[in-house]
């Protein structure tokens, strides 16, 4: 069991990860609002904003009194609801640590689209593999899984401080705990078919994040922490080096 604590991975293209801040704040505010409501009202909100596969796939119809948003929107709205504080806290911890670097690699608007697309993929994949299609799916785990898989592809060598077995803080290359986490999700997808955790949503988010980061990252952002090749490392056939161009300046958003 690895719990991420901190990464040493400075931002290069943006001053602040405003979208990550906004996503964390929105999730916290939604939870704070729903936490004070009566239990029956919370269940009604989960039914109206959660993703229910049997409803979304047209097999059943939701009671009109429970409808809050058009059914197509629940592939996004479900990702802003959480069962309890610890469900919320674990998701927001991962988003806080890893989201800023993915936002840096993509830019604010593409990162927001990336996050919502990963949430959507998590919901749809959950709908394909779930054995209980009438139960509402809630939680940001599908979107967070996409952020984690994108981070694994972009920054596997970054030093990440993790808490091992809830007691031992260790600095490890990000690839070790994150790859372990990814493999764990697919393992439980196969063996834990009746649990309360949607491993399908996690798997869908992981797959979407890994594919989307390839096309949504900024031009020039390398994969797997590879350094960018510059003309300074190129030598002509006659042994001479080309003239060194002026230093690049990264634009900030």
As for how many domains the chain has, the answer is 1
**Sheet strand arrangement including 159-164:** 2-7, 159-164, 168-173
Phi, psi of 137 (to 5 degrees): -95, 130
Q: Is residue 246 part of a domain?
A: no
Q: Is residue 249 part of a domain?
A: no
Token digits for 172? 């490890």
For residue 164, what is the enclosing H or E element? strand 159-164
Q: Is residue 253 part of a domain?
A: no
Give the end-to-end CA distance of the chain in Å, rounded to a whole number: 36
Q: Please state, in angstroms and rounded to a whole number, the distance separating the CA atoms of residues 59 and 200.
A: 20
Q: Is residue 243 part of a domain?
A: no
Each residue of 168-219: pLDDT tens digit? 899 999 999 999 999 999 999 999 877 889 999 999 999 999 999 999 999 9
For residue 136, give its domain range: 2-233
Q: Is residue 103 part of a domain?
A: yes
Residue 244: pLDDT over 90 = no
Q: Is residue 242 part of a domain?
A: no
Give the predicted TM-score (pTM) of the model: 0.88
Q: Is residue 189 part of a domain?
A: yes
Largest CA distance in the chain: 79
Q: Is residue 245 part of a domain?
A: no
**CATH code, 126:** 1.20.1540.10
Each residue of 155-173: pLDDT tens digit? 999 999 999 877 789 999 9
| Residue 51, helix vs strand vs coil | strand
């Amino acid at each position: 069991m690895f719990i991420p604590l901190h990464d040493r991975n400075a931002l290069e293209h943006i001053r602040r990860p405003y979208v990550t801040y906004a996503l964390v704040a929105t999730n916290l505010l939604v939870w704070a609002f729903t936490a004070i409501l009566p239990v029956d009202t919370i269940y009604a909100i989960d039914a109206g904003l959660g993703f229910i596969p049997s409803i979304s796939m047209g097999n059943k119809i939701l009671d009109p009194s429970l409808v809050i948003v058009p059914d197509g929107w629940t592939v996004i709205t479900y990702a802003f609801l959480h069962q309890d504080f610890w469900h919320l806290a674990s998701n927001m911890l991962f988003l806080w640590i890893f989201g800023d670097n993915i936002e840096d690699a993509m830019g604010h608007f593409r990162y927001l689209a990336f996050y919502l697309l990963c949430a959507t993929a998590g919901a749809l994949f959950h709908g394909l593999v779930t054995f209980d299609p009438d139960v509402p799916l809630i939680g940001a785990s599908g979107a967070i899984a996409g952020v984690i898989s994108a981070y694994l592809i972009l920054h596997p060598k970054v030093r990440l401080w993790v808490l091992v077995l809830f007691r031992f803080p260790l600095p490890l290359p990000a690839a070790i705990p994150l790859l372990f986490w990814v493999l764990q999700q697919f393992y439980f997808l196969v063996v834990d078919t009746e649990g309360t955790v949607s491993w399908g949503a996690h798997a869908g988010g992981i797959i979407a994040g890994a594919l989307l980061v390839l096309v949504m990252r900024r031009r020039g952002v390398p994969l797997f922490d590879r350094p960018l090749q510059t003309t300074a490392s190129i030598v002509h056939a006659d042994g001479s080096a080309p003239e060194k161009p002026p230093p690049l300046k990264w634009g900030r958003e």
